[in-house]
Amino acid sequence: MEEQYKAEIEALRTELAQVKLAARSASQAVASTSATMNTRMPDFRELKEYVSTFDPKVPSCLSADIWVKSIDDTGDVYEWTNAVRLHCARLNLGGCAKLWLESCPNAMRDWATFKAEIVKGFPSKKNPIYYHNLLSSRKWKPGETVEEYVYEMLALGRKGGFDEETTVTYITSGLRQYVKRSGMTIGKVCTVETLLEELRWIDSVDAVAASKVADPSPAVQSAQRKTLKSITFM
């Protein structure tokens, strides 16, 4: 009888060991699948959306060193491999940067080489006078949202090495036509955030005024009807 109990206990131990082994294998399979999902290759659309185009001809384009850093920052968040970062950079070259790549085939050897070569090919030169002229001549254009105008100016200011308060001065100077429509003025602001808040407030005042003109109160409507009748019977 004792031998029978020992045999049963041994069988149970063997079965328990098999269950543990199966559970461990399943856990490893799940972990492997999760790792594969986390390191999947992003598609073409994602690579184009996550990173801005590098086109040195565009004044508001990031400098080469900041641009490659933005790819690294994005890659760190999404756990991109260096190969993915290199592919992303190649897809987002524009203008003369594409021609540069064709003339510098060694740049595609690896991500570290690409970063070094593109920074060497497009060195960051901050010319305050050049950017002063750009910022001074750039005005808000009808059909352009204030956010588009403000953030483009902010990018130019950063490339020129100006602090935020100085850049805001250029921005407000270029918004005179925009503000003139409402007959209001922009107060003293030093940050982009404060400036945008004030511009949105001006927009809200304009919207209220426009709604009153489009949908006057009953008293105004009555006065308008009386005026119309008097004109009709004259």
Measured CA to CA, the distance from residue 195 to residue 13 in angstroms comes to 73
Average pLDDT over residues 83-95: 94
Evaluate if residue 175 carries a pLDDT over 60: yes
Task: State percent of the chain over pLDDT 90.
Answer: 35
Q: 56 vs 183, which has greater pLDDT?
A: 56
Measured CA to CA, the distance from residue 89 to residue 50 in angstroms comes to 11
Place of tokens 């407000």: 172
pLDDT, tens digit, 9 for 90 and up, residues 107-119: 888 999 999 999 9
Q: 214 vs 227, which has greater pLDDT?
A: 214
Evaluate if residue 70 carries a pLDDT over 90: yes
Eight-class DSSP state of 215: S
pLDDT, tens digit, 9 for 90 and up, residues 10-29: 766 777 667 677 767 666 65
**Range among 80-84, 125-129, 219-223 rated most confident:** 80-84
**Which residues is 93 bridged to in the sheet?**
54
Confidence category of residue 41, pLDDT binned at 50, 70, 90: low
Per-residue pLDDT at 159: 81
Locate 133 and state its tokens. 């002229």
Core vs surface per residue 188-207: b (16+ CB within 10 A) or e = ebeebeebbebbeebeeeee
In which region does residue 79 sit, left (phi positive, over 0), alpha (psi from -120 to 50) or beta (all else)? left
Per-residue pLDDT at 47: 80
Note the Cα 219 to chain centre separation in Å.
48
CB of 114 closer than 8 Å to CB of 108:
yes
Measured CA to CA, the distance from residue 27 to residue 37 in angstroms comes to 15
Measured CA to CA, the distance from residue 88 to residue 67 in angstroms comes to 12
